[in-house]
Amino acid sequence: MTDPFVTPQDATAAAAIAAIGEELDLFDDWMQRYQYIIELGRTMPPFPAEWMDDAHRVPGCQSQVWLEMTARDGVLFFAGASDAAIVSGLVALLLRVYSGRSAEEILATDSGFLRDLGLVQALSTNRGNGVEAMARAIRHAAAQVGA
């Protein structure tokens, strides 16, 4: 079985946010950015079907979103999936920032970057609320581990 957990491609959460911002800036409009985000979702590791249940579901999302976390040597790794293409891409963005980080780094990385990048404003209200709910779920899981 392929490891469903996302490994970081950037050295820090801040570096991931900066890289995402640079990548989004390459596109002229939000339709192109949406297509890029959808493509990101397609690069996610396969999410085990047995985790697509209520225990893994993120509340507050219009689409169905599932998350799982594991700790390895003091570092938290996340796996995620959604039943909607654009939301899968948003999950991929969040996991690029948060997966493979310590609980301390996750908690120190406020989800305000989603607004700073213009993502929340460019989405429908329900999707914007949903992506913020995903970030809250990730930060809550990190807080539980760090407690």
How much is the pLDDT for 126? Answer: 83
Better-scored residue on pLDDT, 132 or 77: 77
| Average pLDDT estimate for 57-77 | 92
Lowest-confidence segment of 2-11, 53-62, 64-73 by average pLDDT: 53-62
Domains of the chain: 13-146 (3.90.1010.10)
pLDDT of 129 strictly over 90? no
| Average pLDDT estimate for 54-82 | 93
> Please, how many CA atoms are within 13 Å of residue 36, restricted to the half-sphere of its CB?
16
Report the alpha-carbon angle 98-12-15, nearest 5.
Answer: 105
Q: What is the pLDDT of residues 92-104, one digit of tens each?
A: 999 999 999 999 9
How much is the pLDDT for 49? Answer: 95
Q: Are 82 and 64 in contact (CB under 8 A)?
A: yes
How much is the pLDDT for 10? Answer: 97
The set of catalytic residues is 61
The pLDDT confidence band at residue 61, using thresholds 50, 70 and 90, is: confident
